[in-house]
Structure 1
Amino acid sequence: MTRSGGRRPPRTARARTPRGESRVGTRFEVEVGPIAHGGFCVARHEGRAVFVRHALPGEQVVVVVTEGTEGDRFWRADAVEVLVPSAHRVVPPCPYAGPDACGGCDLQHVAVPHQRELKAAVVAEQLRRLAGLDLAVTVEAVPGDTPPGSGLGWRTRQRYAHLPDGRQAMRKHRSHDLVPVDHCLLESPDPAAHLVRDVSFDVAGDGFWQVHPGAPAILVEAVLAGLDPRPGESALDLYAGVGLFARFLADRVGDARRVTMVEGDRAASGHAAANVPGAPALAGDVATVLGRLPVEPVDLVVLDPPREGAKRAVVEQVVARTPRAVAYVACDPAALARDVATFAEHGYALASLRAFDLFPMTHHVECVAHLVKSDSDLR
């Protein structure tokens, strides 16, 4: 898939026309409401929504506004004092986590098991709001953190910014401002091992590979379990990266030539060709490449798009090929829900969904959705 090999550039506040006097720095008390997509909870103050970081649902906290003007519909804020704490609140293990500090972790103040419950609530809410689905969601723990169960020491690729004096640093939330950091507790003691099910993968030094050590194997397992590939079937692996899913699809269908990979990054596509010998590896924008290919039936499709999702143009080209099953790997639940809704318009129903905690201490969650044609014999 078209993703960079390291951390994505920091998300910064969008420039916008001020709507009155700035309220940055304003302090007030709020009762914290539900968790929302993006690593914050929603509170209300004098009728205005306030997106609060470093808080938990049900808490009574003092917040300081970090973004917002008098005329804005909502403000962003940090909880700087906890008056009534949640039973799930813990002391963050990292000294750099918290308001006006490193912005890499959203949930270090939350007990790890409850982090997963909050992420499950977000996935379920996005599916309900954007796809009209009422689904119970469980976020599964994935082995690979160090020490086990800590939610720390899992990030096998870590990049630091650097201060003018050479010290390493991390960025603040929604900012380019730097915070000196001796060591990130999420960093794994071991480098990434490009080995899955005894298969070694060729990956560029700066190419994309899942940063959680347990991610590649569990995602392959989930994709194959959902698709149940059969000998002789054909498959498309879209946003194929270096061919992780295609490699094992080829084994199951019995002929790599029946698995076509499409990847936007040419270097990754070259590695995919080496990792899945015999499988066609097409480089280019997925929607554009699909538009150039004959619209012929295909049995199976894997989608592993970047954070913005596959979007309608790709989904409609997928359903035009009438696959019996689609596996959709998603790192953003809102994008997943929007695309699931588009699939539903074309007769594809969500048959199952698994969610994985591949990014402990952050709000991010990875999902594998399994979609089938409504009139399919696969249920």
Structure 2
Amino acid sequence: MTIDRIAAGGDGVGRIDGLAVFVPRTAPGDVVQVAYVTHARHGRGRVLQVITPSPLRVTPPCVHYERDGCGGCQLQHLASEAQRDARQHIVQDSLARIGRRDVPLPTLEHGEAWAYRSRLSLTLRRRGSSWVGGLHPHDDPTRVFALESCRIAHPELVAVWESVRQTIRRGDLALPGTALPSGAVVPCDVLRLHLRLAPVSAGAETGSVSVVLQGGTAWPDEQAWTTAVQSADARIGGVWWTPDRVALRAADRRSAPPDRTATVVDYAPQGREALAFSQVNSEIAGALREFVYSAVAQFRAAHVIDGYAGAGELSARWLADGIAVTAIEADPAGAETAAARFRALGDAGRRGHVVCDLMEQAIASIDGAPDVVVLNPPRRGVHPDVAAWLEASDQRGVKGIVYISCDPATLARDLARLPSWRIAGIRCFDMFPQTSHVESVCVLRREDA
């Protein structure tokens, strides 16, 4: 079969007897021999042989991409320009196919293609008395291969990972485990490790790296392990542990007397908001924020709702401009960070209000009529109740919507729920080179505006 295009998710797509077949690690123009399985109206395949390689193919520079089938990247085998073209067409196709919105091929802002990630998240899996830390193959999410390097991560993160890995390999300090009712602690089978590079401060050559270990409910060696890791690498600025909240709550319920409600403290470590609300690509994130800021300015707004506001970086900027802001953020750490930003603005910050709640629950009780609603939802998109609120006749005073999306499919679905709004502009941002992911900002106006 011949591969025609790249689909959302990064698979190449071709047709066999009219059936669309999705084949990972292929390029438009490839002629390939595949084995495939039919699923309802499409097929899923794997390459047996590349008969005629596409001129868009390049040799992947990462050792893990082909040797281990690393699932962290989907498009390393494509030239950078071909990757960007694929991401633009993924957005355009999703809007047309799902959202029934025909738009010209959107512009794509792009920057460095390698070493751009300021965060690296790994899976640690126990093998007997030792651990392996790395990523999952694209075709087997149950397996973990040992990560030696990562070409899309900042080199400082890879260097710190090597230091942490050596500490884990020594095996003289236990990692987090699960506390039994008897008081014994048994090892966990799987943990998560997050590395985050902080921005470079004045006078420093590089930023410090935060290390967050996630999982388990008990860790007797926490302090000793933290000391050992920080001693192993001067680049490590902080080490935190985030226990498994679900397991903690379950254990608390089991131990709670039947006549009281179990309570569990929030184990979010200091600085967790930095991991949760910072973009992995600072260069492109800056360009995206500037575009959103300019898009809101077009509406000459007096009151902005900043939905899914995170740590409130844009909200604070609008407040400084004299615009009233209602920032809605469900995560307590993000909401508190936003509130702190507002307080730091003094009198200007008093025009801001932070609501720590789900967007769909908070938006119906907002005081004052907003001029612009900014939406920056997670990958699942906005709740249907948010779209219904924006469609309601009571909200005719809303002049514009600025929707920041990390998933073209959910963006298109949500636009289909907003028939009274037209696309006034759309811009794509290449936040994740070597992958199929793309960020988009869609500016909407009322159809009759």
Please, what TM-score do these two structures have when normalized by structure 1?
A: 0.79
> Counterpart of 1:23?
none
Name the % identity.
31
SS in 2 for 1:140: strand
**Equivalent of 2:338, from 244, 268, 272?**
272
The aligned residue for residue 356 of structure 1 is 429
Deviation at 1:235, TM superposition (A): 0.6
Q: Deviations over 1:178-210 (max 9, x none)?
A: 122201111113524299xxxxxx872442211
Larger Rg: 2
Match of 1:215 in 2: 284
SS across alignment from 1:220: helix
Matches within 5 A, 1:1-379: 30-65=1-36, 68=37, 72-98=40-66, 101-143=69-111, 145=112, 151-163=113-125, 164=127, 165-173=130-138, 175-189=141-155, 191-193=197-199, 204-228=273-297, 233-252=302-321, 254-255=322-323, 258-277=324-343, 278=349, 279-294=352-367, 296-320=368-392, 321=395, 322-343=397-418, 345=419, 347-376=420-449
- Cα 1:54/1:305, change in 2 over 3 Å: same
SS at 1:63's partner residue?
Answer: strand
**Larger relative contact order, structure 1 or 2 (CA cutoff 8 Å, min sep 6):** 1
Residues 361 and 221 of structure 1: CA distance in aligned 2, closer, same or farther (over 3 Å): same
1:334-362 alpha-carbon deviations (Å, 9 max, x no partner): 1111222222x2x2110000001100000
Over 3 Å counting, the alpha-carbon distance change for 1:194 and 1:283 in structure 2 is farther
Partner amino acid, structure 2, of 1:323: V
Q: Deviations over 1:312-340 (max 9, x none)?
A: 31122234433111111000011111222
Q: What value does the CA root-mean-square deviation take over the aligned residues? A: 2.3
**Unmatched segments (≥5 aa) in structure 2:** 157-196, 202-270, 344-348
Distance change in 2, residues 1:141/1:298 (3 Å): closer
Q: Matched residue pairs, number?
A: 326
Separation in 2 of the partners of 1:370 and 1:73?
A: 34
8 Å Cα contact 2:84/2:108 also seen in 1: yes
CA contact (8 A) 2:428 2:438 kept: yes
CA distance in 2: counterparts of 1:80 and 1:244, whole angstroms:
49
Q: Which runs of 5+ in 1 are unaligned?
A: 1-29, 146-150, 196-201
The answer (yes or no) to whether the contact 2:273–2:311 under 8 Å persists in 1 is: no
Q: How big is the shift at 1:123?
A: 0.6
Q: Which AA in structure 1 matches 2:273?
A: A
Deviates more, 1:133-142 or 1:241-250: 133-142
Alignment deviations for residues 216-237 of structure 1 (CA, whole Å, 9 cap, x no partner): 3112111122221677700100
Instruction: Supply the distance in 1 between the matched residues of 2:301 and 2:20 (Cα, whole angstroms).
Output: 54
Question: Structure 1 residues 369 and 71, CA, compared in 2 at 3 Å: closer, same or farther?
Answer: closer
